[in-house]
Amino acid sequence: MLPFTQINRNIRSLKRYRQVLGILIKYGFGHVVEQLNIDYYLELGKRIVSLGTASRELERLSQAKRLRLALEELGPTFIKLGQLLSTRPDIVPIEYLDELKKLQDRVPAVPAEQILAQVHLELGHPVEELFSNFDQTPLATASIAQVHRGTLKTGEQVVFKIRRPAIESIIETDIDILMGLAYLVEKHLPGGHLYNPIGLVKEFRRTIHRELDFTREGRTIDRFTANFAGEETVRIPKVFWEHTGRTVLTLEFISGIKISQLDELRAAGYDLKQIAKSGADAFLKQVFVHGFFHADPHPGNLHVLPGNVICIFDFGMVGRLDEDLKLQLTELLLCVLRRDVDRIVSQLLYSGELLDESNIKNLKRDLTEFIDDYYDILLQDLMVGKLLIDFVEILTEYRIKFPSNLMLLSRALFAMEGIGRQLDPSFNMVEQLKPFTEQIMKDRYSPSSIAKDAARTLQSYQSLGKSLPKDIKEFINRINRNQFKIDLEHRGLERLINDLDKSTNRISFSMVIAALIIGSSLIMQTEKGTMLFGFPILGLLGYTAAGVLGFGLAIAILRSGRM
């Protein structure tokens, strides 16, 4: 990625920059735009920053809601960014998280001829040659793709997830803009570097590129299918790979009852308690057995089939837990249930997530209060997902780093608990968790696991023993050759330098104006040269120029908000 100043400024990019900044200003974020010193980088900056302020109606809304509305108006890339940020409480305040979770794609359907052309381009043949039926009316539309029903030549009922034409180029332009804005945030906003905005945009670029490639989602579905092979209570749609590519995903059409439609489930004779238990069991297996879980289990993605079978849809958002994270999560849950604060802090210290500047004494106090809040709650009433979300909030407050997948898991677990309680008011997630946590702890302290840990430790020391003499020798050689260097990086001085430049320019401008006034006054005293209304024209022109320049300088100072 090129620095912001080196981005290719074609007409389309400049129009999009203007549109993005204009919408931010429209929703009341003009002060942020000004802080970023956009006018220093874009020739159109002065015009962009002077577009106006938020309307009175928008000013009545909270800043978090205005941000959500701005992201929705900015389109698919920014909606997806907001959805990513909604999983990052370490970056985004809680009130913003609640709003970002409400982000919705409000887009009209792509015309049928464009969809048909997209399918033809991806699969190499016209739709009528590939399928016996293709319903041109979409089942659903979103910012990146829309869904249609159809029938294969072999008679199978299918659904097609088809990427919107030209969406890739739109997203690429927007990511360039986001990278430029991230560069400016890190450079100009106080404390901006603490949130690593450039790293965040890079993570977002990787995530959205993966989402644009539907073959990745197809492979994810195949992985879930393999993980649940032989399970009679879970159904995963089949991927038809011969009709799937980067922009088209063809899946088996499965008709069921949405898991939240309780009356329909009862009328069909389903066992709601068994569905709640099977759903929780399936999710916990994804987390603690497979380490690969569906991160968006809302009711629209879970349908019930005959035999109390749960069918899972939409695998665009998944989370991963490695063995170490599964173990840490299990131990933390056990420590909370046992009210063992010291053990929790020890776990954080051991995992390296507790930063040096964290106040351990205050952290212990807050963790004790957090556990006390759950002490009087009966186990059957305890919401494990809510407990994890509250725990993550404490970590965020003390700037303790944690894997983003932990927040995904907390939200997904909270959603599954809510569904379970809807189906069965006596549903108890703690009881569902017990066999999984017990098995993990049993495996952790088994002889084979201890032997593996010992072998890994010995291997690490062996590698260190081999490399240490060489590293010490290289270090000493560099010192002897005067090649030992320490790189120091200053942060926060760029804004000071820019402010000094502005101040110096204003002083110089003021001196020019003063010189014009003094020079014009002297000319007025001479009463020589061409006269107008009894005054020398040259003196009048000097006064006029000084007045225009002085008025412009005053406007610039007032607009900056700093007298």
Q: Give pLDDT tens digits for 183-217.
A: 888 877 776 666 778 888 888 888 888 889 999 99
For residue 2, what pLDDT is reported?
Answer: 44
Which residue is catalytic, options 174, 176, 296, 314? Answer: 296
**Cβ partners under 8 Å of residue 75, min gap 6:** 143, 170, 174
- pLDDT value at position 51? 45
Closest CA to 280 of 163, 98, 359, 288: 288
Question: Do 158 and 134 form a contact (C-beta atoms < 8 A)?
Answer: no
324 is catalytic: no
Distance CA 437, CA 332 (A): 11
User: What does the alpha-carbon distance between residue 348 and residue 146 come to, in Å, rounded to a whole number?
Assistant: 43
| Helices and strands, number each (H, E), in the chain | 24, 13
As a whole number of angstroms, the distance between CA 485 and CA 494 comes to: 24
What tens-digit pLDDT sequence spans the chain (563 residues)? 444 444 444 555 777 888 888 888 888 887 777 777 665 555 444 444 444 555 667 778 888 898 988 998 888 888 888 888 877 776 777 788 878 878 866 678 889 999 999 999 999 999 999 999 999 999 988 888 999 999 999 999 999 999 999 898 889 989 988 888 888 888 777 766 667 788 888 888 888 888 899 999 999 999 999 999 989 999 999 999 999 999 999 999 999 999 999 999 999 999 999 999 999 999 999 999 999 999 888 888 999 999 999 999 989 889 898 888 888 788 877 777 777 777 777 777 665 555 555 577 788 888 888 877 766 665 566 777 778 878 877 877 777 776 778 778 888 888 898 899 999 988 888 888 888 888 888 877 778 878 877 887 788 778 878 788 887 877 787 777 776 676 666 655 566 666 676 777 777 777 877 887 877 777 777 766 677 766 777 777 777 887 777 777 777 666 665 55
Q: What pLDDT sits at residue 379?
A: 57
Tokens 């015309």, residue located? 111
State how far the Cα of 521 lies from the Cα of 542, in Å rounded to an integer.
9
pLDDT, residue 38, reads 66
pLDDT on residue 49: 45
For residues 292 and 322, what is the distance between their CA atoms, to the nearest angstrom?
A: 9
Phi, psi of 490 (to 5 degrees): -90, 145
Tens-place pLDDT, residues 74-110: 888 888 888 888 777 767 777 888 788 788 666 788 8
User: What is the distance between the alpha carbons of residues 405 and 23, in angstroms, rounded to a whole number?
Assistant: 31
Whole-number Cα distances in Å, 125 to 116, 213, 223: 10, 20, 28
Contact 440/333 with Cβ under 8 angstroms?
no
- Domain extent listing, the chain: 4-106+169-210, 258-442, 446-491, 493-560
12 CB-near residues (< 8 Å, 6+ apart): 173
Pair of tokens at residue 550: 């002085």
Q: How far apart are CA 29 and CA 48, in angstroms?
A: 13
**Distance between CA 179 and CA 199 in Å, rounded?**
9
Per DSSP (E only), the strands in 59-136 are 131-134
pLDDT at 47: 47
pTM of the model: 0.72
CB 38 within 8 A of CB 45: yes
Q: Going by C-beta distance under 8 Å and a sequence separation of 6 or more, which residues neighbour residue 175? A: 77, 201, 204, 205, 208
The pLDDT assigned to 346 comes to 75
Q: What number of residues does the chain have?
A: 563
pLDDT of residue 508: 78
**What pLDDT does 336 receive?**
73
Spatial separation of the C-alpha atoms in residues 500 and 506, rounded to whole Å? 10
Q: Retrieve residue 435's tokens.
A: 């066999």
Give the tokens for residue 523. Answer: 């000319």
Find the angle CA(93)-CA(97)-CA(102) to the nearest 5 degrees: 155
Provide the token pair at 223: 């992985």
Structure tokens that stand for 226 in this block: 């393999």
Q: How many CB atoms are closer than 10 A to CB 67?
A: 22
Task: Output the pLDDT for position 375.
Answer: 63
The SS3 call for residue 17 is helix
> What is the DSSP secondary structure assignment for residue 239, as one 8-state letter?
B
Contact call for residues 144 and 167 (beta carbons, < 8 A):
yes
pLDDT in tens, 391-410: 877 877 777 776 778 778 88
